[in-house]
Amino acid sequence: MILPDYIGPCAFGVKMGVILPGCDLLVMILNVLKKAEHDGLLSDGDTICITESIVARAQNNFVTIAEVSEEIRKKLSLSPEQKIGVLFPITSRNRFAMVLEGIAKAVPKGEVLIQFSYPADEVGNQLIPPDVAEELANKKGDYITPEDFGQSYVHPITGVDYIQLYADIVAKAGARPKIFLSNNPLSILKHDPQAVIVADVHSREKTRSRIAPYLDNCITLQEIFSDNNREVWSEWGLLGSNMSSGSKIKLAPREADSFALNLQRRVLAEMGKKIEVIVYGDGAYKDPSSGIYELADPLPAFGVTPGVNNLRKGVKYKYLVDIYHEEGKSEQEILEILEKEVGKDRKPDSIETEGTTPRRMQDVLASLADLVSGSADAGTPLVIVKGIC
C-alpha cells in the first residue's frame, strides 16, 4: 500500500502483540517495520514513535513497594518513628498511590505530612472546587486543613476523594497521616519534618530550591532509583513511574536515547531507510473540558534521535494564500510560490510565521503519537508518523 501524493501528514498506530519483560524489543520492532516497508508504509523521513511503557517493560524496569521504602530510608537516613514530608504530590491512583505507600512504609511508626497545592495539583486534577478554595483562603490564609472544609470533595472526573484516599494509604502502612493544603512550599516546615520528598513533576527543582536553605534532607522523586549502579534504575527515578501488577511499580525507561539511536541505525542498515525515532510518554496537551494537563511524565519524549531534537517551524499558509491572491496571482502561481516559501528559514517574529508558534518537534510528535495510541492503550504501542519531519 503506497499512499497517494494528495495525502499530507498522517500517523498510523501499529499493533505489536504482547510485550513481556526481557523480550528483545528491538528485534520485535524491526520485524514489524519490515512488514510496513513491504506494504509501502515505511519511507525515508518517517518518524517511528514507541511508547515508553513497552521499552521499560522489555527492560524489566520494575521495583516493589518494599524496595521503594528501603531506598527512601537509606537516602534520607530515616528511622521508623520519624516524620517525613511529601510536598505537592499529584493526585493519581496510577501515578502516585503506590509511591505514597512506599513512602509511608519507610516510617511505619512515624508520621507522613502531605502538603497539597490547591485548588488543583500541578497537572490540573481538582482537589477542591475553586470557589471553595478562594473562600477558605480568604478566611484561613494560605494554610487549609480538611477540617476547614466542612465536607469531603471528590475529583470531578474520577469521583475519588484523594485526601481521604491518601490518608487511608498512609494509615494502612502504620504511619500517622497529616494532610493540609498550601501553595507555599515552606508551609511544610512548620511541622518540623526530618526529611522532605519534593513530589511535583515539572517544577520540582524550583520547589526544592525553596526548601533546601532550611532543610538539607530534601530530595525529589527523580533521585529515588536513579543510581545507574543498580540492576533496576532510571535516570528519571520515580518520575514517570506507573502502577503495575501486585506490589510492583514500573519505572520510566532508562537510556531511551540509546534505544532510539540503536533502532535508527538498524533500520538504516537492514532496510536502507533514514527514519527518526521517539520513545514517547504522555502528550503535552491540556484537556479543554476538564482543565487537566495530560503531562504527568517529566517530559513528552524520554528518548529521541537528533533529527527531531529541534523546533518545528512553519509559515502562515492561509495568510500567504490571501496575500498572493490579492496580488492577482493564479492558483498555479500561488502553489509554486508556496512550495518555495515553505522551505525558507525565517525569524520567529516574521509576519509570515505569525500564528505558527515554534514548538519542539519531539513534543509535537510525542503528543500526536500519544493521541493516536490512546491512554487506554489501543494495542498499538508503535506509531508511524509520515510527512511531518
pLDDT of amino acid 327 = 77
Q: What is the mean pLDDT of residues 247-257?
A: 96
Instruction: Give pLDDT tens digits for 167-186.
Output: 999 999 999 999 999 999 99
pLDDT of amino acid 378 = 66
350 pLDDT more than 70: no
202 or 388: which leads in pLDDT: 202
pLDDT of amino acid 212 = 95
Lowest mean pLDDT among 75-79, 170-174, 378-382: 378-382
Q: What is the mean pLDDT of residues 80-93?
A: 97
pLDDT of amino acid 317 = 61
pLDDT of amino acid 253 = 97
Instruction: Give pLDDT tens digits for 277-322.
Output: 999 999 888 888 888 888 899 999 999 999 998 766 555 666 677 7
Burial class (CB in 10 A: 0-12, 13-18, 19+), 261: middle
Domain at 62-243, CATH class: alpha beta
pLDDT of amino acid 354 = 46
8 A C-beta contact, residue 252 and residue 268: no
Task: Work out the mean pLDDT of the chain and round it to a whole number.
Answer: 90
22 or 327: which leads in pLDDT: 22
> Can you give the pTM of this predicted structure?
0.88
pLDDT of amino acid 66 = 97
Lowest mean pLDDT among 32-41, 130-139, 340-349: 340-349
Lowest mean pLDDT among 109-113, 276-280, 291-295, 324-328: 324-328
pLDDT of amino acid 312 = 63
Which superfamily does 10-60+253-312+359-386 belong to? Answer: CofE-like (3.30.1330.100)
Instruction: Give pLDDT tens digits for 126-145.
Output: 999 999 999 999 999 999 99
37 pLDDT more than 70: yes
pLDDT of amino acid 281 = 94
4 pLDDT more than 60: yes
375 pLDDT more than 60: no
Lowest mean pLDDT among 202-216, 247-261, 266-280, 332-346: 332-346
pLDDT of amino acid 181 = 97
309 or 85: which leads in pLDDT: 85
101 pLDDT more than 70: yes
Residues with Cβ within 8 Å of 203's Cβ and at least 6 positions away in sequence, in order, are 88, 122
Where in the chain are the domains? 10-60+253-312+359-386, 62-243, 317-353
pLDDT of amino acid 353 = 46
132-141, 337-346, 373-382 — most confident range: 132-141
56 pLDDT more than 60: yes
Q: What is the mean pLDDT of residues 344-363?
A: 61
